[in-house]
Structure 1
Amino acid sequence: MATTMQNYGLRWIDSEGSPHVSVAAYDWKSADHRRGALRAAKCDPVEIVETRPGQRLEPLGGSE
């Protein structure tokens, strides 16, 4: 049985109000772990977004 790899990216706003996006592709477990670390660093909101290979995310507040 073939397993399909699904990629996820993150986008968030840091504690100073600046929007950011991840440049790495994560699996779900790793993305969720990174989201926890960002929330612990007082980043809010933090979104996990399903991505395709090569897709670049727009920061929160940008055009989608």
Structure 2
Amino acid sequence: MTIKMRTFGLTWTDPDGIPRAAAVTYDKASGEERKADLEAADCTDVEVKSGRPPLPKAH
């Protein structure tokens, strides 16, 4: 049986207003944990997206 690994990337805006993107990919559970960590650190616009790490939004 083949198991297909789905990967997720993260984007967010840090507390200084700078758009960021993760340089690594996560599995779904790890991505959601990282999202919670970022939100606890006052980051905004935190998104977990399926696929490769996205580029950060231009500011």
Q: Normalised by the size of structure 1, how large is the TM-score? A: 0.82
Residue number in structure 2 paired with 1:59: 56
1:9 alignment partner AA: G
Identity rate of aligned residues, in percent?
32
Trace 1:1-64 onto structure 2 (pairs within 5 A): 1-51=1-51, 55-61=52-58
Q: Normalised by the size of structure 2, how large is the TM-score? A: 0.89
Q: 5+ residue gaps in structure 1?
A: none
Q: 5+ residue gaps in structure 2?
A: none
Superposed structure 1 runs of 4+ greater than 2 Å apart? none
The number of equivalent residue pairs is 59
